[in-house]
């Protein structure tokens, strides 16, 4: 009998084309779009550099300042000879305009009280880029002053001048053999994979509510089929669909994103751990979907409640907005989202080279979440039987 229940579920899934499109096409587009959009965030360069106008008269010092800015991977500078600020910004499309006097080094050395440098910027420039440019400008001018000081006092400044080259940034992974360069696709695939798995709610709710309306559930109960068999008959097919999603999204990251000039997803983690994590996420997502289907009267109601719930869980779970850009109180809230548990667990495997000890807490949370909603579903069904 259980075999026929599974066959019935697979037939229902194959006929729900719209739900299958949501489960596979939507996350594919999200992975491609977000991987390409965030590519520069994880790179040491950007495709389009921010334009900088050094608004002053040209001399040896200002020319050197411009040249040093141009060595940076994020900025492109040009001397503009004291032009109008708003014209430079809104007609000539400069992102930063630096108003600086020609003899700025002399004024700094003599500690002139009214000396200042004004940086005008487009209001759309992020705070991170503002601070990056300000620190870059400070560093370049400081080096110029220090170089002259060393020459004047006959001090060997070679080590100091090459200090930046002496400082190395070394990613530290939990597993020594795990060597993967952090890229946007390493973050995008786990994020939208978790999001898409929770949208299994759409086909489950459609099938479950139709069966309730047509009396299929009641007929199965009248045949003395245990509740656990009915639930397992629904969970197994959708669990398989979720695992197909996992494989499909990983292949998109490996083969499709690079075709569009994006980074390639690298899998150096343990495939068994990926399966364990995806299984826990699937169990939580399917259990939540069954609960929503039980408390809803129509497919439209289930889709609305489930869709809104999933979007809120994604927003609070660091899927739509990365956790590291959230304020502290929001980061604390993310720890209550099952999508965050799934995401953090996958990031441990995909990005940090974590092992079973690093993901077991997330697996435990997801299993408890799933069991809780299965129990609630059972109580809702029993209550409806007694009404």
Strand order in the sheet with 118-121: 75-79, 50-55, 96-99, 118-121
Mean pLDDT of 16-28: 75
pTM above 0.95, yes or no: no
Q: pLDDT-based confidence at 264, cuts 50/70/90?
A: confident
Whether the per-residue pLDDT at 221 is higher than 60: the answer is no
Determine the Cα–Cα distance for residues 282 and 300; give it in Å rounded to an integer: 23
Determine the Cα–Cα distance for residues 68 and 77; give it in Å rounded to an integer: 9
pLDDT digits (tens, 9 = 90+) for 130-167: 888 999 999 888 888 777 666 666 655 565 556 666 66
Whether the per-residue pLDDT at 38 is higher than 60: the answer is yes
pLDDT digits (tens, 9 = 90+) for 74-106: 899 999 886 788 888 888 889 999 998 888 888
Least trusted range by pLDDT, from 1-15, 184-198, 245-259, 345-359: 1-15
Whether the per-residue pLDDT at 329 is higher than 60: the answer is yes
The domain limits of the chain are: 2-41+183-386, 46-166
59: Cβ contacts below 8 Å, ≥ 6 apart: 102
Choosing among 3.40.190, 3.30.300, 2.50.20, 3.60.21, the CATH entry for 46-166 is 3.40.190
pLDDT digits (tens, 9 = 90+) for 272-301: 999 999 999 999 999 999 899 888 888 788
């Amino acid at each position: 009998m259980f075999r026929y229940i599974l066959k019935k579920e697979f037939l229902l899934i194959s006929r729900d084309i719209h739900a299958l499109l949501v489960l596979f096409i939507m996350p594919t587009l999200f992975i491609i779009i977000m991987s390409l959009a965030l590519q520069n965030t994880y790179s040491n360069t950007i495709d389009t550099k921010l334009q900088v106008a050094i608004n002053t008269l040209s001399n040896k010092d200002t020319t050197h300042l411009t040249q040093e800015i141009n060595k940076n991977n994020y900025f492109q500078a040009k001397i503009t000879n004291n032009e109008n600020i708003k014209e430079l910004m809104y007609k000539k499309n400069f992102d930063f305009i630096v108003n600086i006097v020609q003899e700025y080094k002399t004024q700094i050395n003599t500690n002139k009280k009214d000396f200042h440098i004004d940086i005008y910027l487009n209001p759309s420039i992020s705070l991170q880029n503002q601070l990056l440019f300000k620190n870059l400008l400070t560093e370049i001018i400081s080096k110029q002053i220090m170089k002259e000081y060393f020459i004047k006092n006959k001090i060997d400044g070679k080590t100091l001048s090459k200090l930046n080259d002496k400082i190395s940034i070394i990613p530290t992974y939990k597993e020594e053999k795990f060597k993967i360069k952090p890229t946007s696709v390493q973050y995008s695939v786990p994020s939208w994979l978790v999001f898409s798995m929770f949208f299994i709610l759409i086909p489950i709710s459609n099938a479950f509510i139709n069966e309730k309306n047509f009396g299929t559930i009641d007929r199965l109960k009248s045949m003395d089929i245990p509740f656990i068999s009915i639930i397992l008959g629904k969970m197994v097919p959708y669990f398989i669909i979720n695992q197909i999603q996992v494989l499909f999204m990983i292949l998109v990251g490996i083969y499709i994103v690079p075709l569009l000039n994006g980074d390639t997803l690298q899998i150096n983690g343990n495939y068994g751990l990926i399966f364990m994590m995806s299984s826990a996420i699937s169990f939580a997502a399917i259990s939540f979907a069954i609960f929503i289907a039980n408390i809803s009267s129509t497919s439209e109601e289930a889709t609305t409640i489930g869709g809104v719930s999933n979007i809120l869980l994604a927003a609070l779970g660091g899927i739509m907005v990365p956790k590291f850009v959230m304020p502290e109180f929001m980061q604390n809230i993310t720890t209550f989202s099952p999508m965050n548990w799934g995401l953090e667990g996958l990031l441990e495997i995909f990005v940090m080279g974590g092992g079973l000890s690093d993901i077991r807490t997330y697996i435990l949370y997801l299993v408890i979440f799933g069991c809780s909603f299965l129990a609630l579903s059972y109580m809702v069904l029993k209550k409806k039987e007694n009404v």
